[in-house]
């Protein structure tokens, strides 16, 4: 059984840089609640927990904890495509996310709804973390020490930052973003001057954007107590400095930002955390997933259509490889988890089941969780092909195909429920597929297949034996098996690809398989 090495490698790296057991090791992840949280948001938390569990295994005497930090004092620059009530939100563009109404009407603010969804998901499965709010950290004074350090080292911070931006923007740049005392917006203000001795600044609210306007107010304020915030690259350094963060992950698109934030953290007198850069998630078409667009798979969809273990197993894969996710490839992702669950055990240190059990606080079993070879893909294709949308009926097919399913009946009943939801939802939104071009060279072999299925009658069939028979039909005429199976998918399912046909026929039974083949022959004139 293969161990999953990357979390352990990260844990050893952290321990080498923090050998003294003088305080807890602090992990941090950040979340920008500008839209509904997606899997990328959840992934950063889970992957960090994998590293934290590996660290505890390597150093059981070391205390470690995780902060999940919500950037809810950031402003909303544009309207997310996947949230309702745009007219309610439009007047509040430019304001902090924690000061904008919830478009869903269930929370006290826009950010309250978004981070509530993330926390609900984390809490539902017992993940251990401590929630931190940017708004609370600024307004409670928790960041005041760091804000004073920014003001005390104003010129150095400014020097580091302006070297990374265009010359036309350098003169006006300030690390501070005043929150206008009149209109409450944060992205319409600019700093006119600073008074480091008193930790105050003068500002004007006069920066208009296409989506929102300034109010023209001018004033003076203390930079402490939540009156102003710092821009996010400085804010990142501020958190590291104030909290003493030891480890944080970030996407490869933030490499330059992380480098700059590390320099600013050192300028403030702190030590930046051990970093870990990961590749980005892509949707099934290869596009970067986005909270505002809502592509990829949402956390709600994972909960609805797949076991949590499948998501955790997916996230345990090497983060340095870009990963595609989307509803069309969800069955494949779940099957990879099922394969691990029937071949590996949680009792083996650093195995995939070990990590999944550890972060869910489950007992470590010395036997595989599953015994059946049945796959999500096979059951999903059966549900689609026969319009089976009732979990008990789909479960009956599964149990007849493989009696081992009964050994984990609760798991497979739940799996069938999720599969039926996906199949039904996909049916409701499905568009009429483009007709596939079929190679009629294979028509005689399809007719032979019909005769073979008819000869089987009601007898129970073995999926692998049927698969071998199908390969034999291709070999009879020296035909390419790949082309033959592509023809079967197109003729029987109207798809370019599909399940392993032998087991697919076996689970539905010879009579239903014969009916499917007969209908295909009638459609294509055989």
Mean of pLDDT values over 242-262: 96
pLDDT of residue 134: 98
Backbone angles phi, psi at 228, to 5 degrees: -135, 160
Binding-site annotation: residue ranges for ATP: 291
- Token output for 22: 């003088």
Mean of pLDDT values over 173-189: 98
Sign of the torsion formed by the C-alpha atoms of 80, 84, 89 and 90: positive
Q: pTM for this structure?
A: 0.90
Q: Report how far apart the first and last C-alpha atoms of the chain are (Å, whole number).
A: 49
Q: Regarding predicted confidence, which is higher, 269 or 474? A: 269
pLDDT tier at 501, thresholds 50, 70, 90: very high
| 448-483 pLDDT tens trace | 999 999 999 888 788 999 999 999 999 988 889 999
Binding-site annotation: residue ranges: 291
- Examine the pLDDT at 499 and tell me if it is beyond 90: no
- Examine the pLDDT at 48 and tell me if it is beyond 90: yes
Average pLDDT of the residues of the chain: 93
Q: Helix, strand, coil: what percent of the chain each, to 5?
A: 50, 10, 35
Lowest mean pLDDT among 87-91, 186-190, 263-267, 504-508: 504-508
pLDDT of residue 2: 79
Q: Regarding predicted confidence, which is higher, 329 or 47? A: 47
438 Cα distance to chain centroid = 38
Nearest of 347, 397, 346 to residue 372 by alpha carbon: 397
Backbone angles phi, psi at 489, to 5 degrees: -60, -45
pLDDT of residue 290: 66
C-beta of residue 236 within 8 angstroms of C-beta of residue 160: no
pLDDT tier at 295, thresholds 50, 70, 90: low
pLDDT of residue 430: 75
Lowest mean pLDDT among 51-65, 217-231, 437-451: 437-451
Number of alpha carbons in the 13 Å side-chain half-sphere of residue 469: 20
| 133-145 pLDDT tens trace | 999 999 999 999 9
pLDDT of residue 78: 94
pLDDT tier at 328, thresholds 50, 70, 90: confident
- Examine the pLDDT at 298 and tell me if it is beyond 90: no
Measured distance CA(516)–CA(12) in Å, rounded: 56
pLDDT of residue 255: 95
Q: Which residues contact 69 (CB under 8 A, 6 or more apart)?
A: 28, 29, 30, 31, 132, 133, 134, 239
- What percent of the chain stands above pLDDT 90? 81
C-beta of residue 28 within 8 angstroms of C-beta of residue 273: yes
CA distances 174 to 10, 171, 189, Å, are 35, 9, 11
pLDDT of residue 526: 57
pLDDT of residue 293: 59
Contacts 24+ apart (CB under 8 A), 334-341: 334/306, 334/307, 334/310, 334/376, 334/377, 335/375, 335/376, 335/377, 336/310, 337/307, 337/309, 337/310, 337/313, 338/310, 338/370, 338/374, 338/375, 338/376, 340/313, 341/309, 341/368, 341/369, 341/370
Nearest of 282, 300, 499 to residue 418 by alpha carbon: 300
Nearest of 418, 360, 333 to residue 124 by alpha carbon: 360
């Amino acid at each position: 059984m293969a161990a999953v090495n990357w979390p352990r490698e990260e844990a050893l790296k952290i321990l080498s840089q923090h050998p003294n057991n003088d305080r807890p090791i602090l992990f941090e992840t950040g979340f920008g609640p500008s839209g509904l949280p997606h899997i990328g948001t959840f992934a950063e938390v889970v992957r960090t927990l994998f590293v934290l569990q590996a660290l505890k295994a390597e150093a059981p005497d070391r205390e470690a904890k995780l902060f999940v930090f919500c950037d809810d004092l950031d402003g909303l620059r544009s309207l997310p495509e996947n949230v309702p009530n745009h007219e309610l939100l439009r007047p509040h563009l430019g304001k902090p996310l924690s000061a904008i109404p919830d478009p869903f009407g269930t929370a006290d603010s826009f950010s309250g709804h978004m981070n509530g969804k993330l926390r609900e998901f984390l809490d539902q499965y017992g993940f251990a973390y401590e929630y931190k709010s940017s708004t609370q950290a600024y307004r409670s004074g928790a960041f005041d020490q760091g804000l004073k350090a920014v003001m005390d080292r104003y010129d150095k911070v400014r020097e580091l930052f302006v070297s990374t931006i265009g010359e036309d923007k350098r003169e006006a740049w300030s690390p501070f973003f005043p929150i206008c005392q009149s209109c409450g917006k944060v992205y319409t203000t600019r700093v006119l001057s600073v008074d480091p001795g008193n930790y105050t600044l003068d500002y004007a609210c006069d920066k208009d954007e296409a989506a929102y306007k300034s109010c023209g107010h001018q004033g003076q304020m203390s930079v402490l107590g939540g009156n102003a915030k710092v821009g996010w690259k400085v804010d990142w350094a501020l958190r590291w400095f104030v909290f003493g963060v030891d480890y944080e992950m970030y996407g490869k698109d933030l490499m330059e930002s992380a480098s700059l934030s590390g320099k600013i953290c050192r300028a403030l007198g702190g030590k930046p955390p051990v970093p870990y850069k990961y590749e980005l998630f892509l949707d099934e078409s290869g596009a970067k997933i986005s909270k505002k667009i809502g592509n990829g798979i949402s956390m709600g969809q994972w909960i609805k259509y797949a076991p949590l273990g499948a998501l955790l197993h997916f996230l345990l894969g090497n983060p340095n490889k870009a990963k595609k996710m989307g509803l069309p490839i969800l069955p494949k992702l779940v099957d990879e988890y099922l394969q691990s669950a029937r071949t590996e055990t949680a009792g083996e240190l650093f195995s995939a089941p070990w990590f999944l059990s550890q972060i869910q606080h489950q007992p470590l079993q010395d036997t595989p969780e599953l015994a059946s070879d049945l796959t999500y893909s096979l059951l999903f294709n059966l549900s689609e092909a026969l319009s089976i949308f009732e979990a008990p009926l789909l479960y009956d097919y599964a149990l007849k195909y493989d009696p081992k399913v009964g050994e984990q009946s609760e798991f497979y009943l739940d799996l069938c429920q999720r599969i039926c939801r996906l199949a039904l939802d996909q049916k409701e939104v499905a568009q009429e597929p483009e007709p596939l071009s079929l190679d009629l060279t294979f028509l005689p072999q399809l007719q032979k297949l019909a005769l073979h299925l008819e000869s089987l009658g009601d007898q129970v069939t073995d999926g692998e034996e049927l698969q071998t028979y199908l390969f034999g039909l291709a070999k009879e005429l020296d035909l390419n098996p790949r082309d033959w199976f592509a023809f079967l998918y197109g003729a029987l399912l109207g798809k370019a690809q599909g399940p392993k046909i032998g087991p697919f026929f076996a689970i539905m039974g010879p009579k239903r398989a014969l009916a499917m083949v007969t209908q295909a022959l009638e459609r294509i004139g055989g």
